[in-house]
C-alpha cells in the first residue's frame, strides 16, 4: 500500500514538476539556469512533505527537462538580437559618396565671386573665391557747371554695373570777374574819400595779369628781367604817373582789398587823386592767388 502511495505521489510530483516546467516558461527571459532552480522549489516544497529519497529522484529528473526548456528560451531571447542588428544599418544609410553639382557666381564690381558645390543630400560648400572686380568708371560728366563763386558737380558712371560716383568741381577762377570785383571795391573806397572813380582799362588788366604770373617767381616790385614794372605801364598809354600794388595768399577780392587798405602805402595808391585808370590781375598758382593792381593817370 505504501509503495502504491509513493508511486502515485511520485507520479503527481512528476506532473507537478512538468507543470512547473511549463510554468517555468514565463521566467525564461531570465538567465537559463535560474528557471530550473526557481521551478524546483515549488516541487521541492511538496517533496519536503515527503522526506523519502525516491521522491527526490523525479525531482532530479525534472531538473533535466528544465534545462531543455531554457535551451528553447535561449533561442527565443536570441531572436530579438537579429531584429536589433538591422538598427545600425539605417544610421549608416545617409553616408554616401557626395555627388556635387557646381554653380558659378561670378565676381561683381563690389562682391566676391565663388563656386557653390551642392550634393542632392543637401551638403554644400563654396570654393574658387574670386576678388571683387572694382568699378570701371567712364569719363567724368559735368552735371552742375561751376561758376566763379559756386562749385559745380561732376558724375562718372561704372560701365559694368551702372554705379555712379559724384565729385565737386571747384569754383572756376575767372580773372575778369575777380578783377571787376576789385575795381568796384577800389571805386567804393575812392567814393568814400570823395575821389573820382578809376576806369578799368583792358591793356592794364592784361599787364596786371602778366605781373601776377611774374609774382610767383619774384614777389616784388621788380620784374623777373630786373626792370621796373612801372616803366612798362607808360608804354601802354599816355600816362604821366603810375603805381603798383601786389599781394599774395588772399582768397577773395574783398580780403585782398582789406589787406591793401590797412597798409598805408597801398592805401595811398588806391586813394591817389592823380590816377584815372586801373588794371587788376589775379593768378592762381597751386591754389595760391597772386594779386596785382596797376594804376595809371
Residues 6 or more apart in contact with residue 265 via CB below 8 angstroms = none
CB of 164 to Zn ion, least distance (A): 10
Name which position in 121, 132, 191, 193 contacts Zn ion (CB under 5 A).
121
Residues in region 82-111 near Zn ion by CB under 5 A: 98, 109
Interface pick for Zn ion out of 72, 123, 191, 288 (rule CB under 5 A):
123
Smallest gap from Cβ 87 to Zn ion, in A, equals 22
The answer to whether 276 touches 200, Cβ cutoff 8 Å, is no
248 touches Zn ion (CB under 5 A): no
Q: What's the residue count for the chain?
A: 297
Q: Do 236 and 207 touch, CB atoms closer than 8 A? A: yes
**119 counts as binding Zn ion under rule CB under 5 A:** yes
3-class DSSP state of 204: helix
Site string for Zn ion, 138-167 (x = CB under 5 A): --------------------x-xx-x----
- Which window, 87-95, 120-128, 146-154, 202-210, contacts Zn ion (CB under 5 A)? 120-128
C-alpha cell at 187: 571805386
| Nearest residue (CB) to Zn ion, 158 versus 230 | 158
Among residues 158 and 169, whose Cβ is nearest to Zn ion?
158
Rg of the chain on CA atoms, in Å: 60
Residue among 76 and 98 whose Cβ is closer to Zn ion: 98
CA triple 286-288-292, angle to 5 deg: 125
129 is an interface residue for Zn ion by CB under 5 A: no
| Cα 81 from Cα 77, distance rounded (Å) | 8
How many residues interact with Zn ion (rule CB under 5 A)? 10
In angstroms, the CA 46 to CA 18 distance is 14
Beta carbons of 115 and 136 less than 8 angstroms apart: no
Question: Of 40-48, 57-65, 112-120, 208-216, which part binds Zn ion (CB under 5 A)?
Answer: 112-120
Question: Which residue in 135, 190, 205, 223 binds Zn ion (CB under 5 A)?
Answer: 135
Closer to Zn ion at the Cβ: 158 or 216? 158
Buried b or exposed e, range 104-125, using 16+ CB within 10 angstroms: eeeeebeeeebbebbeeeeeee
Q: Distances from the Cα of 273 to the Cαs of 180, 189, 194, 277, in angstroms?
A: 20, 12, 9, 11
Minimum separation from the CB atom of position 99 to Zn ion (A): 7
Closest CB to Zn ion among residues 44, 117: 117
Closer to Zn ion by CB, 132 or 288: give it.
132
CA angle 121, 122, 127 (to 5 degrees): 120
Q: Which grid cell is 4? A: 502504491
CB-CB contact of 29 with 77 (8 Å) = yes
Task: Tell the smallest beta-carbon distance from residue 129 to Zn ion (Å).
Answer: 19
The smaller minimum CB distance to Zn ion, of residues 76 and 96, is found at 96
Interface region with Zn ion, contact rule CB under 5 A, candidates 86-94, 121-129, 258-266, 286-294: 121-129
Q: Give me the residues that bind Zn ion (CB under 5 A), please.
A: 98, 109, 119, 121, 123, 135, 158, 160-161, 163
Amino acid at each position: 500500500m505504501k509503495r502504491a502511495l509513493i508511486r502515485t505521489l511520485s507520479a503527481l510530483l512528476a506532473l507537478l514538476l512538468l507543470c512547473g516546467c511549463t510554468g517555468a516558461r514565463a521566467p525564461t527571459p531570465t538567465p537559463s539556469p535560474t528557471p530550473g532552480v526557481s521551478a524546483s522549489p515549488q516541487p521541492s516544497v511538496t517533496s519536503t512533505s515527503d522526506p523519502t529519497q525516491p521522491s527526490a529522484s523525479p525531482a532530479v529528473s525534472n531538473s533535466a527537462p528544465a534545462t531543455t526548456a531554457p535551451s528553447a528560451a535561449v533561442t527565443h531571447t536570441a531572436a530579438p538580437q537579429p531584429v536589433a542588428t538591422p538598427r545600425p544599418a539605417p544610421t549608416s544609410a545617409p553616408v554616401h559618396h557626395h555627388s556635387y553639382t557646381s554653380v558659378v557666381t561670378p565676381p561683381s564690381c563690389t562682391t566676391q565671386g565663388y563656386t557653390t558645390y551642392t550634393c542632392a543630400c543637401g551638403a554644400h560648400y563654396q570654393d574658387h573665391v574670386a576678388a571683387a572686380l572694382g568699378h570701371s568708371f567712364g569719363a567724368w560728366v559735368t552735371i552742375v557747371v561751376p561758376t566763379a563763386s559756386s562749385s559745380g558737380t561732376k558724375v562718372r558712371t561704372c560701365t559694368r554695373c551702372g554705379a555712379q560716383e559724384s565729385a565737386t568741381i571747384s569754383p572756376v577762377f575767372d580773372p575778369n570777374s575777380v578783377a571787376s570785383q576789385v575795381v568796384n571795391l577800389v571805386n567804393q573806397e575812392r567814393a568814400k574819400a570823395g575821389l573820382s572813380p578809376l576806369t578799368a582799362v583792358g591793356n592794364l588788366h592784361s599787364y596786371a595779369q602778366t605781373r601776377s604770373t611774374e609774382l610767383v617767381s619774384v614777389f616784388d616790385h621788380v620784374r623777373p628781367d630786373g626792370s621796373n614794372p612801372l616803366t612798362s605801364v607808360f608804354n601802354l598809354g599816355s600816362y604821366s604817373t603810375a603805381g603798383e600794388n601786389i599781394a599774395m595768399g588772399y582768397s577773395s577780392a574783398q580780403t585782398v582789398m582789406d589787406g591793401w587798405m590797412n597798409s598805408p602805402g597801398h592805401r595811398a595808391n588806391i586813394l591817389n587823386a592823380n590816377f584815372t585808370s586801373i588794371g587788376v590781375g589775379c593768378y592762381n598758382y597751386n591754389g595760391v592767388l597772386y594779386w596785382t593792381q596797376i594804376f595809371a593817370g
